Chain A
C-alpha cells in the first residue's frame, strides 16, 4: 500500500499509559509507543497478555485518559480534554469491536436496539422506519437475518454475537475500527467467518482497522502492517512482509516460531525459539528506534541492532 504521500488517519506519538493501583506502585502498561495508521489500512498489534496491546486500543478510543503523549485522529488531537467537535468525531468515526462476545452485548436490550444505539445517541435518522431500515440492512450485511431484530443476545451463539458487535460498529460508517482480540474467544471456524466479514467490510467501505490479536497467523493474513509489543514497548514495526521475511528482534522471532501450523508433517518438527526478557540481557528502558529499511523499525541499542542484523 502506497502510504508515503498520504495523511495518516491516526497518529500515536509517545503514548504513555500508566496506572496507579496503589499510591506507591505504578504499572507502566504502555510506555512510549509510536505508530500511525493510514486510511483503509489494517494495522495489526501483536503481543502476549500483559503486553499493553489492549490498553493501547482503549487509550486511543479514550476509554482511558492517556498519561502523556499525543493521539491525533483525522487531524484532531484527541489525547487531552475533548472539545465538543473532537468528541463528536471520535464517537462517530472511531468504533470498537470487543473481545468477549458474552459480555459485549447488553443482555436486556434487543439486537435491534444494540445495533441502533449509535444512531440513537447521535440522532442519525429522521423516522422510526428509517432507523429500522438501516439496522435491518446492517443485519443482512453481517450475515444475520431480519427476524433476529427483536431477539435478545442470550439467544445467540458466540460467533453470532460477535457479528452483532460488528454491526453495532459498522452502522456508524466509521473511518477506524479497533478490533480488540475480537476473534480470540471464538472457535477456529467462526474466527475465519469473522475475519472474512471484516475484510469484506474493508473492501466495501474503505475503513481502517487497528487489529489487536495474539494469533500471529490471523494477523499476518489480515494486516498490512504489524507492530510487535512486549511489556508496553513497541519492539518492532513494519509491513507484514518486512516483519515476516526478516524478523529482527529476538522477541519477534520467538513469536513467529511459536505459530502453530495446521500441517502435521511440519508441526511435528517445528522448534520454538524461547524468549525470556529477564535472562535475555535486553533492557527496554535504554535503546531507541532504528529504521532498517522502508518502514521497518526496530527498538534497541545500537549495539543490539548491529548484533541482531548481522546474525542473519
Chain B
C-alpha cells in the first residue's frame, strides 16, 4: 500500500478509547509504591501468622504448667519464672549448660510465675486480642454504617434525633460504661466485646454520615432519583459502595484502638479472666512481676506495639491509595 493513500474501511463514529487501568489496580499500585504501608502489611502478616501457628509449634498449651518430678525427692518441680532459654543455641555459643531440672527444655520467651510457656501464651493472647478486635469492628461497621447512612440520607428531623442520640452515647466515658456493665455481666471476653460494641460504632457512623452528606448531593444520586430509584436502593446500592474506601481506612485505625482498649480493660482487671489470656492480661501479669522477673513483660508489650504500628501504617497507606491527589497535569 502506498504511504500517501487514504486509510480505508475505518469506523470513526464508534469511539473505542478507554483508560486501561481499573480502579483497584491503581489503588494496589499506589499502596505498594510506598514503604510504610508495605512494612505495616509485613508486620501485621507476621503477627497474624504467629498468632495462628505460634501456639501450635511450641509443644505446650497455653494453660499447661510445665513440671517434672524431682527424682531425688519424688516431688513435683514446677518451671516457675524461668528466663528465656534455647538449650542448643546456648551450647552452640559455648556456654555452660543449664543445670536445673529443665535443662533440656526450650522456653523462647521464658515461663510465667505459674510455669506456663510465655511464647505460647503470648501468641495465644495475640490471637484472642485480634479475634476480639475483628469481631467487634465487624459488628460496629454494620451498626455504625447503617445508622450513619440513614441519618445522613433522610436529614431533617430524623437526622437531628439520631445525632442527639449519638451525642449522648458519645458523652458517656467508656470507663463508666464498663463499670455499669460489670455490675450486670460476668467479667471476661463477653464484657470486653459489649463494651467495645457500645462505643466504637460511633466513629463509623460519623464517617458514614459525612460521606452520605457529601455523596447524596452528587449528580449521580440525583440521576438515580430522576429514574425513580427508592430510598433503600439509593442508600445501599448507590451510596454504600462509594463509602467503602473511607470505611476500610477507618477499620484499619479502629483495630488498634480495639486491641488497646481490650488490653487496657484486661490490665485493670475487668477483661480476660484466667486461664485465658490476651495481650492485655499478659502485660498485667508481667507488670506485677516487673521487679523480680522483668523479661516477662517484654514480649506482650512488643506484640501490642507492633500490632498498633502495623495497622496504623496500613490505614495510612490505604487512605492515600484510595483517595489519590489528582496527579497534576
B233 / chain A contacts, CB cutoff of 8 Å: 121
Within 8 A of B (CB), among A88-146: 88, 90-92, 94-96, 98-100, 103-109, 114, 117-118, 121-122, 140, 143-145
A155 / chain B contacts, CB cutoff of 8 Å: 18-22
Query: Cβ of B228 < 8 Å from any Cβ of A?
Result: yes
Categorize the interface residue count of chain B. 20 to 34
**Cβ of B23 and Cβ of A96 under 8 Å apart?**
no
Q: A63-B222, A104-B220, A165-B223 are in contact. Are A143 and B15 (CB under 8 A)?
A: yes
How far, in Å, is B262 (CB) from chain A's closest CB? 34
Contact of B241 among A108, A145, A157 (CB under 8 A): A108
B241's closest neighbor in chain A, by CB? A108
Q: A103-B218, A106-B238 are in contact. Are A96 and B226 (CB under 8 A)?
A: yes
- In the bound assembly, the distance between CA atoms of A105 and B242 in angstroms comes to 12
**Cβ of A98 and Cβ of B222 under 8 Å apart?**
yes
Query: Cβ of A85 < 8 Å from any Cβ of B?
Result: no
B241 / chain A contacts, CB cutoff of 8 Å: 106, 108-109
Query: Cβ of A168 < 8 Å from any Cβ of B?
Result: yes
Query: Cβ of B16 < 8 Å from any Cβ of A?
Result: yes
Query: Cβ of B219 < 8 Å from any Cβ of A?
Result: yes
**Cβ of A91 and Cβ of B226 under 8 Å apart?**
yes
- A interface size (C-beta, 8 A): 43
Query: Cβ of B229 < 8 Å from any Cβ of A?
Result: yes
Q: A100-B219, A103-B218, A106-B242 are in contact. Are A148 and B227 (CB under 8 A)?
A: no
Q: A106-B242, A145-B14 are in contact. Are A117 and B19 (CB under 8 A)?
A: no
Query: Cβ of B288 < 8 Å from any Cβ of A?
Result: no
Within 8 A of A (CB), among B1-19: 13-19
Interface residues of A (CB under 8 A from B): 58, 61, 63, 87-88, 90-92, 94-96, 98-100, 103-109, 114, 117-118, 121-122, 140, 143-145, 147-148, 151-152, 154-157, 160, 163, 165, 168, 172
Interface residues of B (CB under 8 A from A): 13-23, 218-220, 222-230, 233, 238, 241-242, 244
